[in-house]
Every structure is written in structure tokens, then in C-alpha cells.
Amino acid sequence: MKAIVITSPGGPEVLQLKEVEDPEIKDDEVLIKVSAAAVSRADTLQRQGKHPPAKGDSEYPGLECSGTVEAVGKDVTRWKLGDQVCALIGGGGYAEKVAVPEGQVLPVPPGVSLQDAASFPEVTCTVWSTIFMMSHLSSGETLLVHGGSSGIGTFAIQIAKHYGARVFVTAGSLEKLVACRDLGADVGINYKTEDFVARVKEETGGKGVDVILDNVGGPYFQRNLDSLSIGGRLFIIGFMGGTLTEVNLSGILARRLTVQAAGLRSRTKQNKSEIVSEVEKNVWPAIAAGKVKPVVYKYLPLDQAAEAHRLMESSQHIDPTQCFLAENHTLFMAAKFLYSLGFVILFLLSLSFSSYSCFDHQKQSLLHFRSLLRSATNSSLLEDWNSTSQCCHWERIICSSTSPFTVTELHLNSLHTKGNSTVSSYVLTPLFHITSLTLLDISFNFFQGGIPAQGWDNLTSLLYLDMSQNFFNGSIPKQLYHLRYLTYLSLSANNRLSGSLSPEVGYLRSLITLDLDFNNLVGTIPKEIGNLTKLRSLYLDSNGLSGPIPSSFFNLTQLQNLDLHYNQLELQIPSFIGRLRSLSILDLSSNKFIGGIPVSVLNLTQLQDLDLSDNQLSLQIPEDIGHLTNLSTLDLSKNKFTGRIPPSIWNLSKLVNLVLEDNSLSGEIPSWLFDIKTLNVLYLGGNRLTWKHNNSRIAPKFTLLELSLRSCGLTGKVPQWISSQKYLSYLDLSKNELQETFPFWLAEMQLLYMILSDNHLAGALPQQLFKDTLTFLDLSRNNFSGELPENIGDANQIIVLMLSENNFFGTLPSSMSYMQSLELLDISKNKFSGDTFPVFGDGLELVNFSSNEFSGEIPATFSKRTRVLFLGNNRFEGALPRKFINLINLEQLDLRNIKIEGEFPKFLSKISTLQILSLRNTSLQGPLPSNIAKLSNLRILDISNNNLTGSIPQELGNITGMIDVPTNVSILQSYSTAPFVVDETPIHVSELIVDWKRSMLALPSAPGRDDVYCLLDLSKNKLSGEIPTVIDNLKGLKIMNMSYNALSGKIPSSFGGL
């Protein structure tokens, strides 16, 4: 017989089709003539030498198959010749015949074809034995399946839903999550963009799930434990991510967790037979009833087993169970395609594969596309596209299921062209000749230039078009608006698409999803968008759209997701929004809406997420906001709302995220908030609320992940009830009146983000505070004292550390060198001393050592990524290190009030990124060099109170950063650390501004922003000669000071224009 042989451990190329001996059957075995065999992850691991067969099993890959009984052993009683069966096997599926113990053979399920039956045995036995026989998953419990779109995952979703469980899944793309949803998954989590632990906590009210089925292994182990409920069960069935991990056993013990490996291949024959019997008894009836269906991906011949493995490992498919079909020495691999609109298309081919080919002109067009692409990228992409093979066999191509075969789908996403030569959008033009296309996905590539204007009118059958995540620029071609059958259109995240949205968008009347977010579209939203009455999802966020929401939106009654955030939309939120009663997500955040929340919003009873944050909304929050009983997220932050927090919010029994910070809300923080069991996120900071619970015994019913009580009038000690929030990761208690030493219980918490700035906390920092979970710590402007703990370096994952304006002293511990993830470090305005410093990592972007007692030479061991460096007001002395020339991204440099030897360092002119330079009172001598004009981005130059001599160089008038300055740009450092943003760090540029008439007062600015004060201070030097008239070029100057020098002549009359 023929079989696929693994010639040696390695890549797919080691799979070779060879002639081998027929298997011999034992007395209790059945010989099956194989019709189909599935490809699984375990097969790819066996090929790599990582998952060998058990002793006595076949050495050929393949753990499940279907076919016809060809012979039976003398002890076999159930099966007879000719029976159509499928089987769980220990190996040997990739062959024409396989011998299987009788107890591991199953009948083909009713209503399922012989070929599709091969997709069931291994996955059904794995899932049933794990989550039902071992875990005893019951109705009403929650199950998390990693790899929801895998063969294991697709079956687990269906069978768990059939038995009444609530199913969570993780997957790596929206397409895969949509596929899982259509199979019955309740909650889909994109592991590439979301933290599945946080999402699980959010969806379960902090409880966690009851059972987890995991095939990732090491990297997910601790996070899986964190996602389990008390008494939860974790079953590990694979280790795609690795086999090694560290774990805190105390958490397993305290929460009574069960962790168990659940492999199937190494089980005994008797054990496998017991599982197969249970599967036939419990799963086969569900299949017969249509509650569980086969999920198949693609057919390939046996001699393309290597290609099957490449496909399995490429992540270009929906990661299904894939089956080989064997007939007349030709073995095919069955496969499915999950259409992103939510339905499954299943291809079942009964003809010879040799005739399964597209038209020659389509093949030539595809080869032309490949040629252009490979030429542009200097790569070997799409290797299996060649003139000698049939195009319907090629990867990334789906053909019609009946003759004549035409190319219907091109999955050209993620072609990995990044880093190669520019890929012009011109390479797409050959695709316009494939007029049979219904789906075209070219997302996540790096195509550049305008979207081709011509050719789209050839693709009249197109239903699905995804061009997201590219670098297309220019306007949207008008021909796109005439694809009248289009149901899905995404041009998302190109960032360079510009112009206005044409009224012709109204021609796309079949659209269900329109995604144009993250571009540069401007102008108003055309009223014609109201013609798209089938729309369920509309994403226009993150553009520059302006004007009101068109009244025609009231026609979009099927709309479920409306996202318009981060635009310039204005006027009031229209009352007709209340007619869109199907809405589940409404995001109008980061616009310019005014007025109050229209009462009609209370009609949107299906709303789950309501985000109106960062607008100019005012008045009071509607008292009846609690009528929106399906809300899980309510974000009204960064507005001007007044009044109290409406008591009706207490009725929101599904509320997970409540964000009301940065308004003008007043009154007491209500005690009933602590009774909302589902809350995970609570932000109340930045209002006029008061805290009256200092002496109250609070027993919260919620389980918080994030808490902000910034400026909420807290006094005395840190509220003890916070210690009950065991899963808290973000805590902001800044700008209160807290007074005590650092609470030991708070230091023991496993916080990622801790913000306690602007209080009156005192004493030394406990060692327990610094642990490898800590990511963000802000203790600025308190009364802390003492030396930093020697173990501070244990916080080796910390990104932001801010300790300014305290009373710390001593040297910096050497263990800070372990903080290699540090990006922002502010220890200013303390009493730190010493002349040696830790060696920080390459990621350090912002450093503030100013106003301490450091001494010795000026330190120079900073990262090339450093953008802000403040070393002033210390006791450093000596020459400015030439290593500063390596700080190629430096924007702000403050060296004021330290002693620098010699003349003005000419090499500073090579740091062309500098915007702010303060060398005030640094003992500089000699002339001001003419090459200072090379600092073209300079906006603030303060070299006052030195011993500079000579004339003011004419070139000073050519500093372009002082000529054309925008009227409003933030020069306070805003620092983002996902998923949180610290809007203002305590590093204020106002301190660099000139000592104007001996006043160190900051110049006026709006909260969180400073006007760009373009400043030139040459005062208190020994400069001589006349003031160059070219200084009047510096039209952006707000402040200029040349006093206390030896300047002569007249003040240029042209200065009146400054």
C-alpha cells in the first residue's frame, strides 16, 4: 500500500509518499480501507520529532480516519466487511489501510458523509474525555477554549453549547472570532489585541470561568490560573507555546484549583475504548440531530501532505481539522472556509483532482500578480503558484465547488512584505481580470500608493472586500461605490486615505459592514449613508470628520455597532439616535458634542457599551440612565456633567465598566456603588465628589480590576476595603489628603499600576512594594523619606517610575540596573547623592534627575531613544560628555545650574532633534557659536547667566523652530502605557522658562497643555556689539531677554513686528 512516511524529523518536506507493507491485523482489530484522514497539530509535532507514537502504534502520522471495513480479526463481533466507519487511531491515518482495535471504531454518524466523518473521532474523544468525563462540565457553567477556531475548538464550542454551557473562546483575528460566534461561542476574545484574563474577569463579574481547555501551555499557564473561578479546572491538551513555566502554588491551593494534563494518544487501548463508547453514546445523537456539525477546510491529494502541513502551520486558514480523502491511490485533504459574514461554505469534491482547475486566463492573471509582487519585494512569496500545477490547488485560493471551476476567493492577507522594497498598489491590477471573485482580502500588507481607480467595475460579483491595514493614500475610488452586491467593505487603518466620503457611498445598499476607521477622511458625513439600510456595523472612527450626525441615520434601524469616536463631530447628539433600537455599541467619544444626553437614548435598551467620553457635554446625567439594563460599559468621562451620580445606575445588573471621571459631578460617593456585583472598573476621579466613608466598614460586593478615586476628598489612611480587591491591577488615589506611612497590605497587593501622587504619605518605602508584577509607580509629591530599598530592582518589569518631590536620600541602588524595561524615570526634587549610576536599559526615553545632590562628572550613559534629559540643579561639574552626540532623539535637555567647563559645546549642534535647551548658569565661556542655527527645531534656548563673550551671531535669526511655531502644541510630556494613559507627568517645561523679573511662575496654560512659548534668553552674559536685525525673523518668539550684557547700538525698529 501507499503511505506518507516521515523520512527524518524536520519540516513538511520530510513527508514522502512511499510504497510500504500492508498492516497485519490482530484478533481484536479491524482493517480499514481509508477514505479520509485528518491533519492535526499533533501530526505536525510528530513530524518534527516532538510527539512520537506510543509503543506498538503505527509510525505513520494520522490520528483519525474514515473508510470501509476490509477485514476483521476472529474476535471482532460488531463490525463486518463493507461497513462504513471512522476510527480513533494511534497513528497510520496517512495511508491506504490501517489496523484499528475494535473498541476504537465508530459508525459514520447519521447525516454525515464518509469523508467528513474523518473529522470527528480524535477531536470528539479529546473534548468529551476532557471537559465532560474528567471535568464534569455541567449546564450553566463557563468554559474557556483557547484556539477556538481549531479543530478541537470548533467541536468544543458546539458540544458545550449543546449541553448548556456558556462558551468563551480566544482566536487571533476577527474572521476567526466571527466563525466561532457562528458556531455558538458566547464571548470571543482576540488574544492579539486583548488581555484574555481581564476580559474573562469582565464577562464573569470578576469570578472567572469554571473550566479551561488549553493547547498553548507554558506562556498561558499562570494567566489560565488567574482566569479560573474558585474550584476551577484547567486541562492542558497541548503546548504550542512551550513546556516550561513558573507558577505560584499558593494560588492553586488557596483557590482549590485543579490542573490536569489530558493527552489522548498515550492512553491505554482499554481507556480509549471506554472514551469511544461514551462519545458514541453522548455525542453521536447530537451530531444526528444537527446540533454538532463537521467543520472542514480543504481537499488536497495524498502526495500534497507536505502542503497540508504548511497550511496547518501557516495560520492562513481558520485552523480547522483537515481531512485527506483516499480514492484510487489519490488521497485528498478536506477543508472548510468560514465566510466572515457568518456562514459556512463546505466544499465536497467527488471528481478527480486532476480536473479541478480554474480557467487558464485566471491562472495567467494570478501568475502575473505573483510576478509583480515578487519583483517588488525581492522575495519568493507564493511558491506553490506555478504554471505546472492546478490553480485551484494553490494556497490562498478558493474555487467554486462545481464545474466550470472559477476562482471565487483570494485570501491574500498578511503576505509579509514589510521590510522589503516598496510595494506599489499597481501590483493589484492583474486581479481585476478575475471577474468571478466574490471575496478579496488583501489586508495586513504594506501596499502603498493610491487604490487603483480602474478595474473594480469588472468585479461585479464581489461580496467581501478587505483592504485594511495597508498604506494606501489619496481618495477612495468612485468605482468602489458601485459594487452593488458588496456586503463587507473595510479600508480600515490605512492612515493615509484622505478626502471626503463621497455621497456615492449610498449606492452600496447591500452593505452589512462598513469600516473606514483610522484614516484621514475629512468633511461631513454624507446624508446618503442613510440609504444603507442593511448596515449592522459602521466604523468611521479616528478620522477628521466634522459637522453634525446626518438626520438620515434614523433609517439605519438594523445598526448594531456605531463607532464615530475621535473625529471633530459637533453640535448636539441628535434625538433620533433613539430610533436605532438595535444598537449594542454606541461610541461617540472624543468629538465636540455639546448639550446634554438626549432622553431618547434611554430607548436603546439593547445597548451594551455607551461611550460619550471626551466631549463638551453638560447638564446632568439622565436620572433614568438605569433603564439601559443591558449596559456593561458606561463611559461619560472628560465632559462637563454636573449634579449627582444617578441612583438608577444601581439597577444596571450587568455593568462592568463605570467611568465618570473628569466632570463636575458633586455630592457624596454613594454607598450603593459597592453593591454592584458585576463592576470590574470604577473611575470617579477628577470631580467634586466627596468621600464620607472614612469610619464606615465597607464590604464591597464587586471584584475590581481598576479603581480611580483621584481627587475625591479622601483623608487619613488609605481605605482598608481596597485590600479586599484581590484582582486589582490599577489603583489611582492621587490628589487626596491621605496621611500615613505606606500600608503594608497595599505593598503586598499584586498591582500593575499604582498612582499615589499628591498626598501626604510619609516614611520609607517597604521592600514588599517592589515585585516583578509592578509596571507603573507614581509616588510623586508626598513626604516619603529614607533610602530606596536595595531590592528595588526586583520590579524588573517596571516601565514608569516617578518619585519626584519627596525626601528620599542616599545613592541609587545598583539593582536598578535590572529595570531594563524602564522608559520613564523621574526622581527629581529629592536629596539623592553620589557620583555613580545604574546602567539603565535601551528603552529609557525620559530621565529627570534634576534638583538633587548628585556630584562628579556629568553622566552620559543614556539610551539613543532618550527624548527628555533633565540633569540640572545638581553638583555635577566638568566638560559636557561628547557621548551626548549619540542621543539622536533628544528633544529636551536641561543642564541649568551645574558647572560646565569651557566654551559652549559646538557638538550640540549635531543633535538636530533638540527643541528645548537650557544651559542657564553653567559657567560657559567664550563666544556663542554660529552653528547653533543647525538646531533647526529649537523653540526654547536659555543660556543666561554665563560668561559668554563676543557678538550675537547673525545665524541665530535662522533657527526655523523660532520662526514658525504652532499656536498650541503640548510641551508637557504626555506618557502612554497601554492600556492606561498618564496625561501629565510632573516634568513641567515651565521650569525651563526664563527667570522673568525673578519670577519662577509658570506661564499660563490650559490643563494638560502649554502654549508653545518660544523663548530666547541671552541675559546676564558679556555679549557685545549690536543686536542683529535678523533676529526679527524669529516671529514665533513670545519672550526674548538680552538684558545685562554689553550690547550697544539701537534696538532694531523691526522688533516691533515680533
In eight-state DSSP terms, residue 724 is G
Average pLDDT, the chain: 85
Q: Looking at 300-392, list the stretches that DSSP marks H as alpha helix, in order from N- to C-terminal side.
A: 305-314, 360-377
pLDDT tens track for 224-251: 888 998 888 998 887 665 566 666 676 6
pLDDT tens track for 568-627: 999 999 999 999 999 999 999 999 999 999 999 999 999 999 999 999 999 999 999 999
Q: Are residues 469 and 336 in the same domain?
A: no
**What are the grid coordinates assigned to 371, written together?**
510576478
Q: Are residues 1007 and 1054 in the same domain?
A: yes
In eight-state DSSP terms, residue 978 is T
What's the total number of domains in the chain? Answer: 4
Confidence of residue 818 (pLDDT cuts 50, 70, 90): very high
Q: Are residues 345 and 401 in the same domain?
A: no
Contact 942, 1013 (CB under 8 A): no
Q: 1058 or 827: whose pLDDT is higher?
A: 827
Can you tell me the distance from the alpha carbon of 451 to that of 428, in angstroms, rounded to the nearest whole number? 9
977 Cβ neighbours under 8 A, 6+ residues apart: 753, 775, 776, 799, 800, 823
Contact 571, 548 (CB under 8 A): yes
Task: Provide the terminal-to-terminal Cα distance of the chain, rounded to the nearest Å.
Answer: 92
Q: Are residues 325 and 454 in the same domain?
A: no
Residue 842 lies in a domain: no
Q: Which of 477, 496, 529 is the last residue of a domain?
A: 477
Q: Is 230 exposed, middle or buried (0-12, 13-18, 19+ CB in 10 A)?
A: exposed
Residue 430 lies in a domain: yes
Can you tell me the distance from the alpha carbon of 617 to that of 626, in angstroms, rounded to the nearest whole number? 19
pLDDT tens track for 520-541: 999 999 999 999 999 999 999 9
**What are the grid coordinates assigned to 81, written together?**
466487511
Closest CA to 396 of 443, 342, 350: 443
pLDDT tens track for 709-744: 999 999 999 999 999 999 899 999 999 999 999 999
Can you tell me the distance from the alpha carbon of 883 to that of 863, in angstroms, rounded to the nearest whole number? 11
Length of the chain: 1058
pLDDT tens track for 130-182: 888 888 888 889 999 988 887 788 889 989 988 889 999 998 887 788 888 88
Confidence of residue 1057 (pLDDT cuts 50, 70, 90): low
Confidence of residue 417 (pLDDT cuts 50, 70, 90): low
Look up the domain containing 100 and give its range: 2-120+294-355
Q: Are residues 166 and 97 in the same domain?
A: no
Contact 68, 100 (CB under 8 A): no
Contact 842, 864 (CB under 8 A): yes
CATH of the domain at 98: 3.90.180.10
Residue 1052 lies in a domain: yes
> How much is the pLDDT for 341?
24
- HEC per residue, 228-271: EEEEEEEEECCCCCECCCCCCHHHHHHCCCEEEECCCCCCCHHH
pLDDT tens track for 675-696: 999 999 999 999 999 988 766 7
**Cα 1010 to Cα 470, 754, 1004, 1014, distances in angstroms:** 35, 26, 7, 11
Question: In this structure, what is the dihedral angle of CA atoms 539, 544, 550, 556, given to the nearest 10 degrees?
Answer: 0
**Cα 6 to Cα 13, 305, 543, 634, 750, distances in angstroms:** 9, 11, 53, 56, 48
Can you tell me the distance from the alpha carbon of 376 to that of 446, in angstroms, rounded to the nearest whole number? 11
Q: Are residues 349 and 409 in the same domain?
A: no
Q: Are residues 344 and 260 in the same domain?
A: no
> How much is the pLDDT for 643?
96
Can you tell me the distance from the alpha carbon of 34 to that of 13, in angstroms, rounded to the nearest whole number? 23
Question: Beta-strand (E) ranges in 7-91?
Answer: 15-19, 29-39, 64-72, 84-88
**Cα 317 to Cα 190, 371, 386, 619, distances in angstroms:** 16, 23, 21, 51
CA angle (336 as vertex; 36, 98 as ends), nearest 5: 10
**What are the grid coordinates assigned to 403, written together?**
464545474
Q: Is 1051 exposed, middle or buried (0-12, 13-18, 19+ CB in 10 A)?
A: exposed
CATH of the domain at 461: 3.80.10.10
Residue 61 lies in a domain: yes
419 Cβ neighbours under 8 A, 6+ residues apart: none
Residue 858 lies in a domain: no
Residue 55 lies in a domain: yes
Tell how strand 2-6 and strand 15-19 pair up.
Answer: antiparallel
Q: Are residues 222 and 190 in the same domain?
A: yes
> How much is the pLDDT for 723?
94
| Mean pLDDT computed over 759-774 | 95
pTM of this structure: 0.67
Tell how strand 657-659 and strand 681-683 pair up.
Answer: parallel
| Mean pLDDT computed over 185-202 | 88
Can you tell me the distance from the alpha carbon of 166 to that of 143, in angstroms, rounded to the nearest whole number? 6
What is 438-459 written as a DSSP string? SEEE--SS-EEEEPPSSSGGG-
Q: Which of 307, 330, 355 is the last residue of a domain?
A: 355
Q: Are residues 1058 and 924 in the same domain?
A: yes
CATH of the domain at 986: 3.80.10
| Mean pLDDT computed over 732-761 | 95
Q: Is 864 exposed, middle or buried (0-12, 13-18, 19+ CB in 10 A)?
A: exposed
**What does the longest C-alpha to C-alpha distance in the chain come to?**
119
| Mean pLDDT computed over 865-869 | 92
Residue 465: strand, helix, or coil:
strand
Q: Given CA atoms 460, 464, 469, 475 in this order, what sign does their dihedral have?
A: positive
Residue 982: strand, helix, or coil:
strand
Residue 40 lies in a domain: yes
Q: Is the per-residue pLDDT at 60 higher than 60?
A: yes
387 Cβ neighbours under 8 A, 6+ residues apart: 363, 367
Residue 530: strand, helix, or coil:
helix
Element (H, E) at 609: strand 609-611
pLDDT tens track for 439-470: 999 988 888 899 999 999 999 999 999 999 89
Q: Are residues 363 and 232 in the same domain?
A: no
Q: Which of 428, 443, 477 is the last residue of a domain?
A: 477
Residue 88 lies in a domain: yes
Q: Are residues 339 and 421 in the same domain?
A: no
Contact 265, 54 (CB under 8 A): yes
Can you tell me the distance from the alpha carbon of 633 to that of 636, in angstroms, rounded to the nearest whole number? 10
Peptide bond into 404 cis (omega under 30): yes
Q: Among the listed ranges 224-233, 348-357, 526-535, 654-663, which one has the minimum average pLDDT value?
A: 348-357
Confidence of residue 296 (pLDDT cuts 50, 70, 90): low
Q: Is the per-residue pLDDT at 117 higher than 60?
A: yes
Residue 846: how many CA atoms within 13 Å on its side-chain side? 18
Q: Are residues 116 and 127 in the same domain?
A: no
**What are the grid coordinates assigned to 1050, written together?**
539701537
Confidence of residue 340 (pLDDT cuts 50, 70, 90): very low
